Chains A and B, each alone.
Chain A
Amino acid sequence: MPQLDLATFPPQLIWLLITFFALYAVMSWVGLPRVRGILAARKGRIDGDLEKATQMKSEAEAVIAAYEKALAEARMQAQITLRETTDRLNAEAAQRQAKVAEELARETTAAEKRIAEAKTQALGSLREVAIEVTRAAAQKLTGRDIDAQHAGAAVDQAMRERG
């Protein structure tokens, strides 16, 4: 069994010592610090990104909140404006209506006055016609011409009697 050959022990131990320490030196001075650096850099990057994402999310939420607030304010403002406008228009309409009604009433009064004038005039010319008719009728019947004054008095009397 070659494993029990004592003469081979010293070279094996010496080279084990040399190679193991060589590997230990390479690992502890180069290999492991580098890998540790890589892993730390990656972790830092991921943590940084996550933090940035969280920050951005909160920023976006703030923006959304501001937007909603602005929207609510705009709605409120719009409602106020709408009410004001409605009130104003209502007032204007009422005013215009009142003016129109007033004008209408005035025109109606004027028209009634005109009608009354026309009626008086018409009644006035009725007397003339009646006098003419009376004179014509008297001439036909009696062959005499009655003067306008007599005829007028007769007509007036008749008109009074009949109301």
Chain B
Amino acid sequence: MAIELHPLEQFTIEPLIPIHFGNVDASFTNSALFMVAAVVVASALMVLGSRRASLVPGRWQSLTEIAYEFIAGMIDENVGHEGQEYFPFIFTLFLFILLGNLLGMIPYGFTFTSHIIVTFAMAGVVFLGVTVIGIARHGFHFLSFFVPHGVPPVLLLLLVPIEVLSYFIRPFTLSIRLFANMMAGHTMLAIFAGFVTAMGIFGFVPLGVDVLLIFLEILVAVLQAYVFTILTCLYLRDAIHLH
């Protein structure tokens, strides 16, 4: 009995509307479709949810307010009051990743956060932005971030390169964490789904596993959006307060 599994096929980028600017391929793909869907759902949540502006919120308005206060609280706790300046960006980042992850859980859907280029682009923007903010606020003094306090000068020879390395590795760990989590989860779901038909009458076993995995993946989807956002907050705190 040959089992044919193509668990990575689901990550294929398929152009839906081919668009080309000279040599540049700007086609509207399945990935782009879900990005647009994420924007539409997120906008609907925040714009329609706040439409009535009731003193006593209804269900949708409560959800809108909870999302707002969740991120506002996260920034206040992890960055401090100065962080509220960057609130719209961090809020957008959180909703965009959260909805990318969750919309990817829809069967036959596409998870754009399962592509390293997407997560790396976001992590790269966060890294560059945070570095620029740090330099703009502290100027040359920003370099003191790489020098730990209260350490013998000899050890600094060892510690400063480590600090520098751990700083520049941030965009990679940030992007790979999200991408790998999304890809691994969806691959696993596809593998078990492939077993369902292959195992014939015992197919209910991998089906049951998939049902449980779906719940786990929904949890991971929310958790990874949270992790990406809170790490962004922590990097921002480093840039603003230097330790």
- The residues of A with any CB-CB pair to B shorter than 8 Å are 1-5, 7-16, 18-20, 22-24, 26-28, 30-32, 34-39, 41-42, 45
Contacts and interface: CB of A to CB of B under 8 A. Distances in A.
Contacts, number: 136
Interface in B53-84: 53-55, 57, 61, 64-65, 68-69
Contact of A31 (B24, B46, B53): B46
Contacts of A27: 42-43, 46, 88, 91-92, 95
B65 A9 contact: no
18 contacts: A1-B8, A2-B9, A3-B115, A3-B116, A5-B13, A12-B29, A12-B31, A12-B32, A12-B112, A12-B115, A15-B32, A19-B36, A20-B122, A22-B39, A23-B39, A31-B43, A31-B64, A35-B68
Interface string B81-125: 000000111011001100000000000000010111110011000
Contacts of B51: 34
Contacts of B118: 12-13, 16
B11 A2 contact: yes
B179 A23 contact: no
For the complex of A and B, the 4 pairs showing the least CB-CB separation, nearest first, are A31-B46, A15-B32, A28-B88, A19-B35
A42 to B, nearest CB: 6
B99 to A, nearest CB: 9
A4 B183 CA distance: 13
B31 A41 contact: no
Contacts of B54: 38
Interface in B10-59: 11-13, 15, 19, 24-29, 31-32, 35-36, 38-39, 42-43, 46-47, 49-51, 53-55, 57
Contacts of B116: 3-4
A32 B28 contact: no
Given A16-B121, A23-B42, A37 B53 contact: yes
B25 A10 contact: yes
A26 to B, nearest CB: 5
Given A13-B121, A19-B36, A26-B39, A34 B53 contact: yes
Nearest to A35: B68
Given A30-B43, A34-B51, 13 more contacts: A3-B117, A8-B29, A12-B13, A12-B29, A15-B29, A16-B118, A19-B96, A27-B43, A30-B46, A31-B64, A38-B54, A41-B55, A42-B55
Contacts of A14: 24, 26
B53 A41 contact: yes
B13 A8 contact: yes
Given A3-B179, A10-B25, A24-B88, A39 B65 contact: yes
A22 B29 CA distance: 17
Nearest to A6: B117
A42 B57 CA distance: 10
Nearest to B87: A32
A13 to B, nearest CB: 6
A12 B46 contact: no
Given A3-B116, A11-B13, A19-B35, A30 B95 contact: no
Nearest to B15: A11
A35 B89 contact: no
Contacts of A7: 25
Nearest to B48: A31
A26 B223 CA distance: 24
Which of A12, A13, A31, A41 has the most B CB atoms < 10 Å from its CB? A31
Contacts of B55: 41-42, 45
